[in-house]
Chain A
Amino acid sequence: MSTPLVTNTIGKPINRVDGVEKVTGKAKYAAEFNVPDLAYGVVISSAITKGKIKSFDASDALSLEGVLQVFTHENRPKLAWFDISYKDQDAPPGAPFRPLHNATIKYSGQPIALVVAETFELARYAATLVRVEYEELTHETDLEANLHKARKPKHGVADLLKPPPPKPRGDFDRVYAEDPNKVAGRYVHSAEHHNPMELFATTVSYEKNGKLTIYDKTQGVTNSILYVTQVFNIPFSDVRVLSPYMGGGFGSGLRPQYQLFMAVMAARELKRSVRVSLTRQQMFTFGHRPATVQQVALGALADGSMNALYHDAMSETSKFEDYTEVVVNWGGQLYPPENVTLDYKLVPLDVYSPLDMRAPGGVTGMSALEVAMDELAYNLGMDPLQLRLKNYTDHDYNQNKPYSSKELRECYRQGAERFGWPSRNMEPRSMKKDHNLIGWGMATGMWEANQMPARAEAVLMVNGKLRVSSATADIGTGTYTIMTQIAADTLGLPISDVLFKLGDTDMPVAPISGGSWTAATVGTAVQTVCQEVGKSLLKLAKNMPDSLFKGAKWEDITFSDKHMRLKNDPNVAVSLQTLVDLNGGKAVRETSTGLPNALKQRNFSRATHSAVFVEVMVDEDLGTVKVTRAVTAVAGGRILNPKTARSQILGGMVWGLSKALEEESVMDHNFGRFMNHNLAEYHVAVNADIHDLDVIFVEEHDDVVNPLGVKGLGEIGIVGMPAAIANAIFHATGRRVRDLPIRLDALL
């Protein structure tokens, strides 16, 4: 049983506890840890897409004074033999890519050598002097041209978190054929790269005893240490990985990237500290959001009740791993049609394996499904919001379970009201100002509310302050802040008395930080371990002479204002300082695991929902789109900190806009290479693109997801945005655009 929290800071818009460190430049990132005698590595990337390296000539590079080594597959150290050793916590089924494994080139930009020198500039120069001869083979990188090769994904542990589509139910073909109202469409989405501002980098400090301290850019230090110890066959005790800050993750750090491998290899071989930083161009040479082709068909009766749903997707993957994501399942969870067919296939291409990117699969699938819903509404002559309400359900028909909570109806209501949706004229092209057509669109968003096991440690120190730690990550989301709040509230301390630390493999283990599960996962671990400290304190209290807590059970006490108190008589209190003083001069220290309550959870489907309303202005002659305002109403369980929560949703909305209108990693299939590999030509939204954004958090109570009632907010902000924009563009212009991104030429 958990005690209810006596809330002091939870739910309050506390500033980021690491805010000052970040804006003053004190927060250090992986490439900023300076250690003595550091050498610098620069990666050479393959110029071809498929084939073999015939030869290297590194003689010119090596002849420069200060160049220490050029590592290639020919002179790399012996490494782990089996694929399993290269598998990380986010590895899809297949054989992970192994840097410098052999002469084979599997994709364009593949790292083929590492030049290490005394200075970065020298290494970079020397890298240009290494001559490589290739034997080229024909590559396949074009998804559209290879759709006939689509096949079912291989199964693996990834299926647990990314379930394959459920079996068909009902009879889609027959019912759809007979439906009076139906729509069908094909949706093509481009590949995208995460492009966090911080480049991937690893600094390896080679200690005197040969041990390694590694500063890595990662969304999970545990993932990095497992990878390094297995691949290089080093004992755990000889490696420590730290990642206190991350300049944006978005999923890009869910797998160890190749700079980690390179830096560790070089440090061990040269017995020297080494740093390897990738270039922006190289940020396009590992995982990306896969290009997809989807088809959606929806059928409904004249009153708007949907009875038929078809959704299939074909997604690219590499030829070595079956990267999957949940693209097509959402409609079967969100809506109640009885005749449902969902299908998901992969097309292996000569590219690097795709990688989870904010709301992986979710934003892809919902950007098709929710556009189809809009089309269906128009087909029916029904308001798009009314169509959603007509098909509202509290049941997840894919899993055949009720939702643990689903305040989506309230999202629709509050979002519509704030936006002014009820006054909408359904007619496309009905609003105009000068050259601009104005349109209003809406869409639903959805993401799962997961929880994983994690461990945490809490120490009530002799000075009465609390130090809590877990080897999780703060990828910019506010983990530091909300964990501080949870710990503070659990033990009734002000946040200034709590220090939360993360990102260090010396700390208790936590999973990679992704999937919007960190708040629930680590939050539960932090709450649990602080309660353990509380229980130890209760024991100490009971042992006091003439203790008023003698007969008290854990359920009878509460913490507030730096004191332990009896619930039914809060004046009976003892300060935490007094209690820790009773511990024989020692701190009170506990470590424990926060586990999902599987028994409770398994009877329910758990998800976060949102309703998004968007206004666009489209220049009728020039095709330019301006998103003038957007409202997102979110049902995301308990909001621990409205400020960091709002930032998460705003960030998601901005990215949703960016995805809808701008982002595309353009592959030239002649070369099999992403060509716009810089931030001047890979367009992400800039300030001038962003206008009025509004966020509403709808109240939602849920004691199934976890005792804190938290669902996680990392992904939900992006999910509904692209479809809402596409729908608003339809309302403005009467043109239904199904492919993303929607640029001006699509609207000329």
Chain B
Amino acid sequence: MNSFTYFRTDAVDTAVRERASEPTAKFIAGGTNLLDLMKENVEHPTHLIDITRLPLTTISDNVDGGLRLGALVTNADTAYNEQVIQRYPLLSQAILAGASPQLRNMATDGGNLLQRTRCYYFYDTATPCNKREPGSGCSALNGYNRIHAILGASNHCIATHPSDMCVALAALEAEVRVTGSNGERTIPFADFHRLPGDTPNIDNTLEPGELITAIDLPARGFPEYFQYLKLRDRASYAFALVSVAAALEMEGGTITAARIALGGVAHKPWRKPEAEAALVGKPANKENFQAAAELLLAGAQGYEHNAFKIELAKRVIVRALGQAAKLEPTA
């Protein structure tokens, strides 16, 4: 870890200005990811701007009938919020499938979006990694890649985005509100994270210095038919090998709307509009779920240690949709 200076403010504009004044500064929220990366010498901010005192710690109703999550609401407070549980139970489920109670108590909603990949090589400065050091090479490509991507990867990087929360946010089509020197803007969730391409060092479409102020959930929350299903190497406290956020609207046995997002398989939560459209107007049954799964996994590519994820992902999709449709037990 390098030495750094520390600054704390309770005003959003001060935080943004402070950040703009020092290009190598970083915001720090819960610190559960940033501090680890600093200790491993992966991130070296020279200046830390503590944003935990910013007035972005509430969950409130939006005029459009949606819900606004302040960027500094903790993951735990979000998951256990009455409104979230009733109107967006998928989100609550996804958050609680991640990390541990201690971490969720510290971690913030804004920070969760910006957590970095868990790729082993990214964390180990003794090995080449394009995401950490552009141009140095991707060690995972021909290395140990059990936890790596099977969709949307490039020869420059096959890392995944590790968040659970973001998978649900993608399915719910949330929007990310940000503010920077150039003012405020809103980013649709599907456009927030990006694929690695030949610049895997860039995780998302946030401009340098921009601060996430809130996450907006649209009115439609799929509270009736939903399931977040996460598969991992132990029953708790492990990142997803594959996870699925499934949300349906149904009339009788017929699907009237569907959202499916995958976690653990790509550099961003993975959605395929065709797969979702293919379910609409169809009865909720295994064959149709299987067909959607095939569409979602179209073009998937496995590597030495993760090829199993392709078949696994399909099965998890079918199971999660079955559970969302209440055709199968959730235990």
Specify which chain B residues have a CB less than 8 angstroms from the CB of A393 in the assembled complex.
Answer: none
Say which residue of B142, B308, B331 sits within 8 Å of A670 (CB atoms).
B142
Specify which chain B residues have a CB less than 8 angstroms from the CB of A623 in the assembled complex.
Answer: 312
Specify which chain B residues have a CB less than 8 angstroms from the CB of A670 in the assembled complex.
Answer: 139, 142-143
Q: Given A124-B1, A128-B1, A621-B319, does the pair A680, B239 have CB atoms closer than 8 Å?
A: yes
Contact yes or no, B41 A128, CB < 8 A = yes
Task: Report B265 CB to chain A, min CB distance, Å.
Answer: 14
A31 within 8 Å of B (CB atoms): no
Say which residue of B40, B41, B235 sits within 8 Å of A626 (CB atoms).
B235
Specify which chain A residues have a CB less than 8 angstroms from the CB of B118 in the assembled complex.
Answer: 680-681
Task: Report A504 CB to chain B, min CB distance, Å.
Answer: 34
Q: How far is the CA of A688 from the CA of B144 in the complex (A)?
A: 27
A303 within 8 Å of B (CB atoms): no
User: Binary interface profile of B, 206-241, with partner A (CB < 8 Å = 1, else 0)?
Assistant: 000000000000000000000000010111111101
A666 nearest CB neighbor, chain B only: B144
Specify which chain B residues have a CB less than 8 angstroms from the CB of A748 in the assembled complex.
Answer: 308, 311-312, 315
Contact yes or no, A675 B234, CB < 8 A = no
Q: How far is the CA of A217 from the CA of B246 in the complex (A)?
A: 49
Interface positions of A from 119 to 151, Cβ below 8 Å from B: 121-122, 124-125, 128
Contact yes or no, A687 B316, CB < 8 A = no
Interface positions of A from 677 to 692, Cβ below 8 Å from B: 677-678, 680-681, 683, 685-689
Q: How far is the CA of A666 from the CA of B1 in the complex (A)?
A: 25
Contact yes or no, B308 A745, CB < 8 A = yes
Task: Report B303 CB to chain A, min CB distance, Å.
Answer: 13
User: Binary interface profile of A, 654-692, with partner B (CB < 8 Å = 1, else 0)?
Assistant: 000000011000101011010111101101011111000
Q: Which of B121-129, B169-177, B274-282 forms contacts with chain A?
A: B121-129
A108 nearest CB neighbor, chain B only: B126
Task: Report A740 CB to chain B, min CB distance, Å.
Answer: 13
User: Binary interface profile of B, 85-108, with partner A (CB < 8 Å = 1, else 0)?
Assistant: 000000000000000000000000
A744 nearest CB neighbor, chain B only: B231
Contact yes or no, B312 A675, CB < 8 A = no
Q: How far is the CA of A469 from the CA of B236 in the complex (A)?
A: 42
Q: How far is the CA of A688 from the CA of B46 in the complex (A)?
A: 40
Q: How far is the CA of A121 from the CA of B311 in the complex (A)?
A: 47
Contact yes or no, B1 A675, CB < 8 A = no
Q: How far is the CA of A681 from the CA of B124 in the complex (A)?
A: 13
Specify which chain B residues have a CB less than 8 angstroms from the CB of A683 in the assembled complex.
Answer: 233-234, 238
Specify which chain A residues have a CB less than 8 angstroms from the CB of B2 in the assembled complex.
Answer: 125, 128
A302 within 8 Å of B (CB atoms): no
Task: Report B102 CB to chain A, min CB distance, Å.
Answer: 13
Q: How many residues of A contact B (CB 8 A)?
A: 41
A736 within 8 Å of B (CB atoms): no
Specify which chain A residues have a CB less than 8 angstroms from the CB of B146 in the assembled complex.
Answer: 666
B205 within 8 Å of A (CB atoms): no
Q: How far is the CA of A45 from the CA of B124 in the complex (A)?
A: 12
A624 within 8 Å of B (CB atoms): yes
A741 nearest CB neighbor, chain B only: B233
Specify which chain B residues have a CB less than 8 angstroms from the CB of A621 in the assembled complex.
Answer: 315, 318-319
A47 within 8 Å of B (CB atoms): yes
Specify which chain A residues have a CB less than 8 angstroms from the CB of B120 in the assembled complex.
Answer: 666, 668, 675-677, 681
Q: How far is the CA of A683 from the CA of B147 in the complex (A)?
A: 13
Specify which chain A residues have a CB less than 8 angstroms from the CB of B329 in the assembled complex.
Answer: 434
Contact yes or no, B315 A47, CB < 8 A = no
Task: Report B47 CB to chain A, min CB distance, Å.
Answer: 15
Q: How far is the CA of A699 from the CA of B123 in the complex (A)?
A: 51
Q: How far is the CA of A666 from the CA of B144 in the complex (A)?
A: 8
User: Binary interface profile of A, 627-662, with partner B (CB < 8 Å = 1, else 0)?
Assistant: 000000000000000000000000000000000011
A429 within 8 Å of B (CB atoms): no
Specify which chain A residues have a CB less than 8 angstroms from the CB of B236 in the assembled complex.
Answer: 686-689
B3 within 8 Å of A (CB atoms): yes
B238 nearest CB neighbor, chain A only: A683
Task: Report A723 CB to chain B, min CB distance, Å.
Answer: 20
Q: How far is the CA of A279 from the CA of B329 in the complex (A)?
A: 43
A413 within 8 Å of B (CB atoms): no
Specify which chain B residues have a CB less than 8 angstroms from the CB of A467 in the assembled complex.
Answer: none
A279 nearest CB neighbor, chain B only: B39
Say which residue of A128, A622, A686 sits within 8 Å of B312 (CB atoms).
A622
Contact yes or no, B233 A743, CB < 8 A = yes
Contact yes or no, A688 B41, CB < 8 A = no
B143 nearest CB neighbor, chain A only: A668
Task: Report B143 CB to chain A, min CB distance, Å.
Answer: 5
Specify which chain B residues have a CB less than 8 angstroms from the CB of A121 in the assembled complex.
Answer: 1, 3
Q: How far is the CA of A686 from the CA of B234 in the complex (A)?
A: 8
Contact yes or no, A675 B308, CB < 8 A = no
Q: How far is the CA of A675 from the CA of B125 in the complex (A)?
A: 11
Contact yes or no, B239 A671, CB < 8 A = no
Q: How far is the CA of A279 from the CA of B251 in the complex (A)?
A: 56
Q: How far is the CA of A743 from the CA of B238 in the complex (A)?
A: 13
Q: How far is the CA of A34 from the CA of B78 in the complex (A)?
A: 41
Specify which chain B residues have a CB less than 8 angstroms from the CB of A668 in the assembled complex.
Answer: 120, 127, 139, 143-144
Q: How far is the CA of A560 from the CA of B256 in the complex (A)?
A: 81
User: Binary interface profile of A, 44-69, with partner B (CB < 8 Å = 1, else 0)?
Assistant: 01011000000000000000000000
A48 nearest CB neighbor, chain B only: B126
Task: Report B294 CB to chain A, min CB distance, Å.
Answer: 16
Specify which chain B residues have a CB less than 8 angstroms from the CB of A122 in the assembled complex.
Answer: 3
Contact yes or no, A671 B234, CB < 8 A = no
B125 nearest CB neighbor, chain A only: A47
User: Binary interface profile of B, 24-47, with partner A (CB < 8 Å = 1, else 0)?
Assistant: 000000000000000111000000
Task: Report B127 CB to chain A, min CB distance, Å.
Answer: 6
Task: Report A43 CB to chain B, min CB distance, Å.
Answer: 14
Task: Report A67 CB to chain B, min CB distance, Å.
Answer: 12
Task: Report B15 CB to chain A, min CB distance, Å.
Answer: 25
Q: How far is the CA of A678 from the CA of B329 in the complex (A)?
A: 35
Contact yes or no, A125 B234, CB < 8 A = no
Q: How far is the CA of A309 from the CA of B320 in the complex (A)?
A: 47
A745 nearest CB neighbor, chain B only: B308
Q: How far is the CA of A327 from the CA of B235 in the complex (A)?
A: 30
Q: How far is the CA of A668 from the CA of B123 in the complex (A)?
A: 14
Contact yes or no, A685 B308, CB < 8 A = no
Contact yes or no, B235 A622, CB < 8 A = no
Say which residue of A47, A677, A688 sits within 8 Å of B234 (CB atoms).
A688
Specify which chain A residues have a CB less than 8 angstroms from the CB of B315 in the assembled complex.
Answer: 621-622, 748
Say which residue of A125, A622, A743, A745 sits within 8 Å of B319 (CB atoms).
A622
Say which residue of A125, A622, A661, A743 sits within 8 Å of B316 (CB atoms).
A622
Interface positions of A from 173 to 230, Cβ below 8 Å from B: none
Contact yes or no, A689 B234, CB < 8 A = yes
Which residue, B139, B233, B236, B318, has most C-beta atoms of chain A within 10 A? B233
Task: Report B74 CB to chain A, min CB distance, Å.
Answer: 19
Contact yes or no, A745 B1, CB < 8 A = no
Q: Given A683-B238, A688-B235, does the pair A671, B139 have CB atoms closer than 8 Å?
A: yes
Specify which chain A residues have a CB less than 8 angstroms from the CB of B39 in the assembled complex.
Answer: 124, 279
A129 nearest CB neighbor, chain B only: B2
Task: Report A738 CB to chain B, min CB distance, Å.
Answer: 18
Q: How far is the CA of A624 from the CA of B236 in the complex (A)?
A: 13
B331 nearest CB neighbor, chain A only: A434
Specify which chain B residues have a CB less than 8 angstroms from the CB of A673 in the assembled complex.
Answer: 124, 126-127
Q: Given A675-B120, A676-B120, does the pair A622, B231 have CB atoms closer than 8 Å?
A: yes
Task: Report A280 CB to chain B, min CB distance, Å.
Answer: 10
Task: Report B290 CB to chain A, min CB distance, Å.
Answer: 11
Q: How far is the CA of A97 from the CA of B256 in the complex (A)?
A: 67
What are the 6 closest A-B residue pairs judged by CB atoms, nearest first? A688-B236, A47-B126, A688-B235, A745-B308, A675-B120, A668-B143
14 A-B residue pairs with Cβ-Cβ distance under 8 Å, sorted by A, are A121-B3, A125-B1, A434-B331, A435-B319, A622-B319, A626-B235, A666-B146, A670-B139, A675-B124, A675-B127, A683-B234, A688-B235, A745-B308, A748-B311
A interface residues, Cβ below 8 angstroms from B: 45, 47-48, 108, 121-122, 124-125, 128, 279, 281, 434-435, 621-624, 626, 661-662, 666, 668, 670-671, 673, 675-678, 680-681, 683, 685-689, 743-745, 748
Contacts beyond the supplied A675-B121, A675-B143, A688-B235: 7 A-B pairs with Cβ under 8 Å? A45-B126, A121-B1, A128-B1, A621-B319, A668-B139, A670-B142, A675-B127
